[in-house]
Amino acid sequence: MKIVKIDLDNREWVRRFIAFPFRLYRSCPYWVPPLWEEMEKNLDPHRHPFYEHSQAEYFLALDGNEVVGRVGVQENRRHNHFRRTKDAIFCFFDSVEDESVSQALFEAVFDWSRRRGLERVIGPKGLLGSQAGGVLVEGFDHLPALSIPYNYSYYHRLITAAGFEKETDHLSGYLHVNHQLPERILRLAERVRQKRRFWVKNFTSKREMRRWIPTVARVYAEAFARNYSFVPPTEKELAMIAHSILSIVDPPLVKVVMKGENLIGFLIAYRDISRGLQRARGKIFPLGWFWLLLEKRRTKWLNVNGAGLLPEYWGSGANVLLYTELEKTVRQYPFEHVEVVQVDERNLASKSDMEAIGVTWYKRHRNYQRAL
- The per-residue pLDDT for range 285-311, each reduced to its tens digit, is 888 999 999 999 999 999 998 788 999
The pLDDT tens digits for 315-366 are 888 988 999 988 989 988 999 999 999 999 998 888 988 998 899 999 999 9
pLDDT for residue 41: 96
Average pLDDT over residues 153-163: 98
pLDDT for residue 338: 95
The pLDDT tens digits for 204-214 are 999 999 999 88
232 pLDDT tier (thresholds 50, 70, 90): confident
Structural domain boundaries in the chain: 2-172, 175-362
Residue 227 has pLDDT above 80, yes or no: no
148 pLDDT tier (thresholds 50, 70, 90): very high
Instruction: Provide the mean pLDDT of the chain.
Output: 93
CA dihedral 239→245→250→253, nearest 10 degrees, is: -110
Instruction: Give φ, ψ of 326 to 5 degrees.
Output: -65, -40
Sequence-distant (≥ 6) Cβ neighbours of residue 59 within 8 angstroms: 3, 4, 5, 6, 70, 71, 72, 73, 105, 108, 109
Q: Looking at per-residue confidence, does 195 or 51 come out higher?
A: 51
Question: Domain 2-172 has what CATH class?
Answer: alpha beta
Secondary structure of the chain in the HEC alphabet?
CEEEECCCCCHHHHHHHHHHHHHHCCCCCCCCCCCHHHHHHHCCCCCCHHHHCCEEEEEEEEECCEEEEEEEEEECHHHHHHHCCCEEEEEEEEECCCHHHHHHHHHHHHHHHHHCCCCEEEECCCCCCCCCCCEEEECCCCCCCCCCCCCCCCHHHHHHHCCCEEEEEEEEEEEECCCCCCHHHHHHHHHHHHHCCEEEEECCCHHHHHHHHHHHHHHHHHHCCCCCCCCCCCHHHHHHHHHHHHCCCCHHHEEEEEECCEEEEEEEEEECCHHHHHHHCCCCCCCHHHHHHHHHHHCCEEEEEEEEECHHHCCCCHHHHHHHHHHHHHCCCCCCEEEEEEEECCCHHHHHHHHHCCCEEEEEEEEEEEEC
Question: Domain 175-362 has what CATH class?
Answer: alpha beta
Residue 228 has pLDDT above 80, yes or no: no
Amino acid sitting at position 341: V
For residues 117 and 77, what is the distance between their CA atoms, to the nearest angstrom?
12
pLDDT for residue 225: 78
Relative orientation angle of helices 318-330 and 348-356, to the nearest 10 degrees? 40
pLDDT for residue 304: 93
The pLDDT tens digits for 56-91 are 999 999 999 999 999 999 999 999 999 999 999 999
Q: Kindly report the number of other CB atoms within 10 A of residue 168's CB atom.
A: 18
Task: Please choose, from the candidates 9, 17, 28, the residue with its C-alpha nearest in 3D space to the C-alpha of residue 68.
Answer: 17
pLDDT for residue 226: 75
